[in-house]
Amino acid sequence: MNLKGGRFLRLFSFVLLGLSLLWLAGGLGSDLLEARLSHSEFEAVLAGGAVQEISIRQNRLTPTGEARIVYKGEEKRFSRERYFVSDVNRLQSELEERGIDFRLENPPVGGDFLGYGLLLLLTAGAVFYTFYRRGLPGGGGAVQIGRARARRENRTGENFGTVAGLSEEKEELAQLVDFLRAPEKYTELGARIPKGVLLVGPPGTGKTLLGRAIAGEAGVPFFSVAGSDFVELFVGVGASRVRELFEEAKSSAPCVVFIDEIDAVARRRGAGLGGGNDEREQTLNQLLVEMDGFTPNEGVIVLAATNRPDVLDPAILRPGRFDRKLTISRPDLCGREEILRLHAANKKFSEEVDFSELARMTAGFTGADLENLLNEAAIFVAAERRAFVTAADLRRAFLRVTVGTEKRSRVISEEEKRITAYHEAGHALLMKLIPGQGPVHTVSIIPTGIGAAGYTLSLPNGEQLFETRSHMLGQIKVALGGRIAEELVFGEPTTGAAQDIKEATALARAMVETYGMSAEVGTVHCGGAEDEVFLGRDFVHTKPYSEATASLIDSEVKRITDECYREAKDIMVLHRDNLETCAALLLEKEKINREEFEALFEGKSEESNGE
């Protein structure tokens, strides 16, 4: 008989279950059919004179047991009535006084233990099957709890040709590929290839894809594992997994080991409230030893990805472990267009679609965002059973991924709709009139999936690596435009500007605390509280400035927001007619695009030119 492990465990469990059920039916199961007599009922039976004989089964370890009755006039058969005997000796004396025959029985040796033993085996079998079954071949459960959970791919299917928008990064990593292909070229000159490369960047920028591309380009095995896979409840398991991972990698050299989200296992030791975690620190220590223990040019290159380099332990960042740190930034204009065209290769687009224009609209998008944008557009087309993705579909998808799904079915009162129209018109007006803040892409008073009553969406004004003071002040003014319009038209504010006020305050505080854009506070950095990223920062952190400076910061933040409010209000009062026209058009159409919004200012521009 050749049973596999999983089938054997199931068969073993079923056999135990059957035996236990048989014992229950004959033993404990019979309790369900038999009546338990109380003490008063048992005394009444004895006093009635109908008892012919009583059988007393005494327990072996205690003077307790159970009594079963044979009534007169019946066959030599016990009834279904049973009485629990708390003192067998006293019952014997009482039966002798009443002249009732009785006999003592001892339970068969091992009888009770057999039934309870079967139950114990059944429970152990169930635990073994559920807790350990994934540890069988092909599994990853408790039997293999010490094993690394790395996934090996001999061919990743990716190469540098499938990675778009990262031309400089690919050039820098080409040396690793060259080493994996021809290591002797470097060893002959005494060169040492970097043991590890840390890929740092926001989520969705292609860090994992780049790691797979390196292995695919070089044609070597690729081991991928998440940082959280090393961390386990049991102390020592994580370190064991690290050792096994690197042993397997060394046996497959040359190869690439990719650790995704390494901050889950390589966080700074001893930081935060309550000290460190023993298991996490042991795992990190083992990782440090393995990376530092490589023989030169062994052929194992470790790639790791994180978007939180600030929380990593300094020991893992030193040369000899992660020799290089490569920042994967959000793609620029050319990179976005390249990414869009790459993801559009397996989709059908109409001729009117302009990927260059779409790339300009999506400034700040990551590669994952761009792929999701095209996918959402394709979903619209597939749902409507059309053949090609159009520019209109891309605009719909752009709105969905930026502001959420529009809820046209939501019922809004006319008064609330009117307030929303002026609120959004206030944002759009200041976005148009303040230099560097536009252009306006869409203005809508249709509620969205993110809980907003409406939205004003602007197009990115080119690629910006940094912000100027005047541009940040303009952003504060635009954020306050909705509140200003509400007070100007309705005479009182509403709660609809809560998020706008939060954004304006955050910008003003960043100008004062972080960017040194306040003459009163000076060019000093006061944002130390945000730098603490560990648990307990609010308990152990002390502000790097005095209470007087804190008061000065608060007053400067208020001064900046108040000045922006006054200046923005002056602009809106001067162009009140445009505000009214824009709000009226929003109430009529609910959503206006860039061309319709720009048309509101054409007449006034022509009049001013005629004058």
Identify the pLDDT of residue 313. 87
126 within domain boundaries: no
Burial degree of 310 (CB within 10 A; 0-12, 13-18, 19+)? exposed
Lowest mean pLDDT of 464-468, 549-553, 597-601, name the range.
464-468
pLDDT single digits (tens) 131-186: 555 444 344 444 444 455 667 777 667 788 888 888 888 888 888 888 888 878 88
453: pLDDT confidence band, cut at 50, 70 and 90? confident
Contact 195, 320 (CB under 8 A): yes
Domain that holds residue 22: 5-113
41 within domain boundaries: yes
Domain boundary among 84, 113, 142: 113
Domain boundary among 327, 345, 379: 327
Identify the pLDDT of residue 20. 60
Contact 262, 228 (CB under 8 A): no
Count Cα neighbours of 370 within 13 Å in the Cβ-side half-sphere: 30
57: pLDDT confidence band, cut at 50, 70 and 90? confident
| Residue 371 and residue 277 share a domain | no
| Residue 247 and residue 185 share a domain | yes
Domain boundary among 301, 327, 353: 327
What CATH number is attached to the domain comprising 226?
3.40.50.300
| Residue 478 and residue 345 share a domain | no
CA-nearest of 118, 254, 114, 128 to 180 is: 254
Hey, what are 326's tokens? 């490569």
537 within domain boundaries: yes
Count Cα neighbours of 521 within 13 Å in the Cβ-side half-sphere: 31
| Residue 176 and residue 102 share a domain | no
What CATH number is attached to the domain comprising 382?
1.10.8.60
| Residue 371 and residue 516 share a domain | no
Active site residue 588: no
For 593, the enclosing helix (H) or strand (E) is strand 591-593
CA 163 to CA 209: how far, in whole Å? 7
Long-range CB contacts for residues 454-460, cutoff 8 Å, separation at least 24: 454/420, 454/421, 454/423, 454/424, 455/403, 455/424, 456/424, 456/427, 456/428, 456/431, 457/399, 457/402, 457/403, 458/431, 459/360, 459/361, 459/594, 460/360, 460/361, 460/362, 460/363, 460/364
CA-to-CA dists, residue 188 to 48, 184, 185, 250, angstroms:
109, 6, 6, 21
Burial degree of 331 (CB within 10 A; 0-12, 13-18, 19+)? buried
Q: Rg for the chain (alpha carbons), in Å?
A: 39
CA 245 to CA 239: how far, in whole Å? 10
Lowest mean pLDDT of 31-45, 236-250, 462-476, 533-547, name the range.
533-547
558 within domain boundaries: yes
Contact 521, 553 (CB under 8 A): yes
In three-state secondary structure terms, 607 is helix
305 within domain boundaries: yes
- Residue that is written with structure tokens 């148009």 in the block: 432
- Residue that is written with structure tokens 């003003």 in the block: 508
| Residue 290 and residue 167 share a domain | yes
Q: Where would I find the beta strands (DSSP E) of 332-439?
A: none
| Residue 188 and residue 274 share a domain | yes
**Overall number of domains in the chain:** 4
**In the predicted model, is pLDDT for residue 560 greater than 90?**
yes
DSSP 34: S
pLDDT single digits (tens) 263-313: 888 888 765 544 455 677 788 888 888 887 666 557 788 889 998 888 888
Residue in 261, 424, 513, 556 annotated catalytic = 424
131 within domain boundaries: no
| Residue 420 and residue 371 share a domain | no
358 within domain boundaries: yes
**In the predicted model, is pLDDT for residue 3 greater than 50?**
no
| Residue 266 and residue 217 share a domain | yes
565 within domain boundaries: yes
Query: What is the average pLDDT value for the chain, to the nearest integer?
Result: 78
Percentage of the residues of the chain whose pLDDT score is greater than 70: 75
21: pLDDT confidence band, cut at 50, 70 and 90? low
pLDDT single digits (tens) 91-110: 878 877 777 777 777 665 55
pTM to 2 decimals? 0.67
| Residue 271 and residue 306 share a domain | yes
| Residue 559 and residue 487 share a domain | yes
Contact 521, 260 (CB under 8 A): no
Contact 57, 102 (CB under 8 A): no
pLDDT single digits (tens) 393-413: 998 888 888 877 767 666 678
Identify the pLDDT of residue 75. 57
What CATH number is attached to the domain comprising 78?
3.30.720.210
| Residue 50 and residue 176 share a domain | no
CA 546 to CA 543: how far, in whole Å? 7
- What's the mean pLDDT in 541-557? 83
